[in-house]
Structure 1
């Protein structure tokens, strides 16, 4: 099986897909399992062939490579139900200029097992978030809808919704976060709305990275919505009373990518993006509820 699991400690920098000579926005995500954190990456860090990996961090340890792909032009997208971990591994086929994906299943201490073998991916499954209903059914976000795909079949709408969706995130208690352009919804599995946050974008933003004024990622915990605001280079939170504030404001060249709650702490992943061919450099922060922050990576 062309996938490696490794336990060597490395010092790395954030890498993103390289198309021609221009860096695009990152593919992948960051998740937590208990007190452990996993995120998508490449290895080695200066790899122009873009071999994907998954990084892992545990409190008291340095980040290290956890799983690595043997395929160039590859990516990983991640989901966990807090027991099993599912990996969508994607590769780009140079000869046909097409993407293929497969789905692997594992645990923190286990070895990845292929549960869906390679198939052509016309839908870019996993880029907009995904979760597994079972080993034979994946639900994924792709603008403008949430789709369901059963093994060996074609995608169909998972549920009908009132607005276009850019990204999804599976939560505990069978709830889902749906992220639109300037609105986020907390919904049940059938799409019934539990909570809604509107007006997330500041339309007065100037000089957004790549001219993209967008919320790149969101997470939810205990009534709080955590935002990675790409356009403002900021990490922000909306508390259970609807009060919003920036918890980390960054300046160029730092750009927010991913967020995740680690119980009451907040994980904030950004990188230095230069758009000149220079390798991006990561910045993963862990922020406590009192605002104290430490750099993990």
Structure 2
């Protein structure tokens, strides 16, 4: 292919209990067109990150394209970004997955397991990348320096709500707040709740409240975003299985049917968005 259009979904990771293991793709999309050229690099960005991200070979999407063997030397790249940056909605993973998918298409290859490996290597874990790549609910892990993931189908009645603040957060900064060790009782609690989360999201949404309880990361990260924890606690008190979305500061919850958050829940400073769960993952089509 000489030119491709890529649509890639946002994602949320962890779901409270599944730290660095669980992710869900969300119906919020960045779109990219990539065209092969004889030489050079021409990048234009609209929307999120415009005027802030580099417009050279350091651009994350371009680096991801270059990670695929057989891609052309010259590239014309046009990005229309909707996924908020540095808000815990997988914007970096989406850019990487879009780049890898475009690189595969331009190299005349079909996406395979190696695509996840390439994408996950950029962040050091595969939860967001796998969600954007495969769609639906993903369970990600690593073994022998390889990243792997399986896709599971979320329950048909589930939708997502995200509450996005104006403030940004850095994954690197919030990871620095985590302790090197946790009590054995907390590790055992997390293992059980993460397993329950898989069952709850796919089969039994009525169990989402206990399934999304966390002892591994959210409490330790509260100093980075106290208002986010306030929002999580307010939603959970109202019966919504709210969690911190990824590295924050966005608040995420799954809802069944047309259930709405009552106005009595104080989410001042957060913009609410109701989203479908993306069930298709990254989509690539040829242009011309």
Which TM-score applies when normalising by structure 2?
0.31
Q: Which has the higher contact order (CA 8 A, sep 6+)?
A: 2
| Structure with greater proportional helix content | 2
TM-score by length of 1: 0.31
Per residue, is there more strand in 1 or in 2? 1
